[in-house]
């Protein structure tokens, strides 16, 4: 099993290996080219589709944008990601159709060992993040590794999501707490 496969399956992966380093370099090179462009620039869409293979034509990621790999991001139709977002996609980040992601949202999949001696090694785990369809993730929200947010949720601006949020909920705060359901 390659280090990329280990990382994407939640196993401890060696981040210093040549395969993962090449992955990082590819993404960082594309991101550097994209930083000087707008969503209206002629070459922007082509670079975005190279960074995030399979991104639907109806979905937009506004620069500047930051990620580790790009190919670990799976967006549905009509997804809008606003400026200054960071998606650390060691594991897959999946976002459903018609979801809006506010500016400066951070989605993290990496997780480091808890033991400080193990943390000295260039190794980490990664746990997938899944966000459903028709969600609104408010500006500055942070989504932690391994989180699932159901369909039709609203996550308040600046919230830190540390636990799964079921469908049809509004969650706010640090840590994010459900303040009401929207399906009743």
- The residues annotated as belonging to the active site are 112
Is the backbone of residue 125 left (phi > 0), alpha (psi -120 to 50) or beta? beta
Neighbouring C-beta atoms of residue 26, cutoff 10 Å: 15
Cis preceding-peptide flag for 3 (omega within 30 of 0): no
Pinpoint the alpha helices (H) of 36-141: 44-51, 116-119
Cα 22 to its chain centre, rounded Å, is: 20
């Amino acid at each position: 099993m390659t280090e990329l496969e280990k990382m994407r399956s939640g196993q401890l992966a060696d981040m210093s290996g040549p395969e993962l380093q090449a992955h990082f370099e590819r993404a960082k090179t594309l991101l550097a080219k994209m930083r000087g462009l707008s969503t209206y620039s002629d070459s922007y869409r082509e670079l975005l589709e190279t960074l995030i293979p399979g991104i639907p034509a109806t979905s937009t990621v506004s620069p500047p944008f930051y990620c580790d790999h790009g190919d670990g991001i799976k967006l549905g139709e009509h997804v809008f990601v606003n400026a200054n977002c960071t998606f650390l996609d060691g594991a897959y980040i999946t976002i459903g159709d018609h979801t809006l992601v506010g500016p400066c949202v951070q989605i993290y999949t990496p997780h480091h060992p808890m033991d400080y001696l193990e943390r000295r090694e260039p190794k980490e785990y990664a746990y997938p993040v899944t966000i459903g369809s028709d969600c609104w993730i408010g500006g500055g929200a942070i989504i932690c590794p391994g989180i699932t947010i159901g369909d039709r949720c609203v996550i308040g601006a600046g919230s830190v999501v540390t636990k799964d949020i079921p469908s049809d909920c509004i969650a706010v705060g640090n840590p994010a707490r459900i303040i009401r359901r929207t399906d009743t």
